């Protein structure tokens, strides 16, 4: 029997059923099968990822609790995203809301086998998927004092993994680096590299809460455009875009002023209120601060400025 994200799926089951606690979820199993092997002690271990059901009868009971026609094997082995889609269909829930709740419902996702480096446990933060306009101070000695407007795309990968691709256009030359993000203690880390390339770029970011309107942190690597590769680091701000069409095409160097960033964000369709406050926050975040660390209060201020635009867009989409 192959299990995937079993503990996360159980928490999602309890959520859509409106269970007040573990006893309520156990009661749901016993309502469909009086002799169900789902009891408090076993459920506690399942939710902690310490053990898995030994009998397929538990999975059959689970299907009855949900009222699905899917087999127990499918429920156990499907991805968390596919499970959420099935539950959303059965209970008329919004799938994004289900996955968002799961992202902050405890331990996050868990699998019956430890994830490999190529397949990290990222199913609980799929809300990060999307495109982001990225602003950082230029490293190249040929562009001192300018900002780099790059782009980031995060998409679902194989299994529960995510794939991140960061792009820049440096002196007319496109550069793209890709890799798998990982999450650790409320931070997001990405080591991205060109296909067959030798110089990676490392990102350490605050992990934002949904709707993830903005991410901020530090990027480090080596200059691409210089006489010799120079180890470099800078702060970076990544603003989620509402429309990813041709985002890479607008990557460029730009002047390091709030007005230039405001014009760029307006071109991307972001309606900010007030716009001057948001771009001033980005400018102050990037310019004139040390790179050794980032204050979490700055991320909170950026989220306060950018998240409402995305929440409004989501509300319009449901309307």
pLDDT, the chain, mean: 83
In this prediction, residues 147-175 reach a mean pLDDT of 84
pLDDT digits (tens, 9 = 90+) for 258-268: 999 999 998 88
In the chain, pLDDT over 90 holds for what percent of residues? 40
Q: Please give the pLDDT value at position 101.
A: 64
pLDDT digits (tens, 9 = 90+) for 210-256: 888 999 999 999 988 777 888 999 999 999 998 665 788 899 999 99
Tokens of 33: 């099968």
Q: Please give the pLDDT value at position 93.
A: 73
pTM above 0.75, yes or no: no
Enumerate domains of the chain plus CATH numbers: 6-113 (no CATH), 125-318 (2.40.128.120)
pLDDT digits (tens, 9 = 90+) for 26-47: 998 998 898 999 999 999 999 8
- 141 neighbors 226 (Cβ within 8 angstroms): yes
Q: Taking the mean position of all CA atoms in its chain, how far away is CA 232? A: 26
In this prediction, residues 169-188 reach a mean pLDDT of 85
CA dist., res. 207 & res. 187, Å (int): 5
Helix axis angle, 40-48 relative to 6-17, nearest 10°? 120
CA dist., res. 114 & res. 206, Å (int): 24
Query: ω into residue 211 within 30 of 0, thus cis?
Result: yes
Tokens of 59: 């999975």
DSSP string, the chain: ---BSHHHHHHHHHHHHT-SSHHHHHHHHHHH-TT-S--HHHHHHHHHTS---SSHHHHHHHHHHHT--S-HHHHHHS-HHHHHHHHHHHHT--HHHHHHHHHTSSS---BSSPPPTTS-S-GGGGGG-EEEEEEEE--SGGGTTEEEEEEEEEEE-STT-EEEEEEEEETTEEEEEEE--EEETTEEEEEEB-TT-S--EEEEEE-PPTT--EEEEEEEEE-SSSSS--EEEEEEEEEE-S--TTTGGG-EEEESSHHHHHHHHHHTT---SSHHHHHHHHHHHHSSS-SS---HHHHHHHHHHHHHHHHHHHHHHH-
CA dist., res. 207 & res. 104, Å (int): 12
pLDDT digits (tens, 9 = 90+) for 106-136: 443 333 333 333 334 455 677 898 899 999 9
* Distance, first Cα to last Cα, the chain: 42
């Amino acid at each position: 029997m192959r299990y995937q994200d079993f503990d996360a799926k159980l928490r999602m089951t309890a959520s859509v059923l409106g269970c007040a606690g573990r006893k309520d979820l156990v009661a749901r199993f016993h309502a469909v099968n009086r002799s169900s092997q789902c009891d408090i002690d076993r459920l506690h271990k399942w939710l902690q990822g310490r053990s898995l059901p030994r009998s397929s009868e538990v999975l059959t009971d689970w299907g009855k609790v949900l009222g699905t026609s899917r087999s127990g094997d499918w429920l156990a082995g499907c991805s968390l995203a596919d499970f959420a889609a099935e539950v959303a269909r059965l209970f008329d829930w919004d799938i994004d809301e289900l996955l968002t709740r799961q992202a902050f419902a405890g331990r996050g996702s868990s699998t019956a086998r430890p994830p490999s480096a190529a397949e990290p446990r990222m199913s609980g933060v799929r809300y990060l998927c999307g495109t982001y306009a990225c602003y950082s101070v230029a490293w190249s000695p040929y562009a001192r004092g300018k900002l780099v407007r790059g782009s980031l795309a995060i998409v679902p990968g194989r299994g529960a993994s995510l794939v991140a691709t960061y792009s820049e256009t440096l002196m007319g030359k496109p550069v793209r680096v890709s890799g798998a993000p990982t999450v650790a203690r409320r931070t997001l880390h990405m080591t991205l590299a060109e296909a067959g390339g030798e110089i990676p770029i490392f990102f350490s970011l605050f992990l934002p809460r949904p709707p993830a309107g903005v991410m901020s942190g530090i990027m480090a690597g080596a200059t691409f455009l210089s006489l010799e590769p120079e180890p470099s680091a800078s702060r970076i701000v990544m603003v989620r875009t509402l429309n990813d069409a041709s985002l890479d095409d607008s990557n460029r160097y730009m002047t390091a002023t709030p007005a230039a960033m405001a014009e760029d964000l307006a071109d991307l369709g972001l309606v900010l209120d007030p716009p001057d406050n948001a771009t001033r926050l980005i400018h102050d975040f990037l310019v004139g601060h040390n790179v050794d660390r980032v204050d979490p209060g700055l991320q909170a201020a950026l989220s306060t400025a950018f998240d409402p635009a995305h929440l409004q867009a989501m509300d319009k989409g449901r309307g």
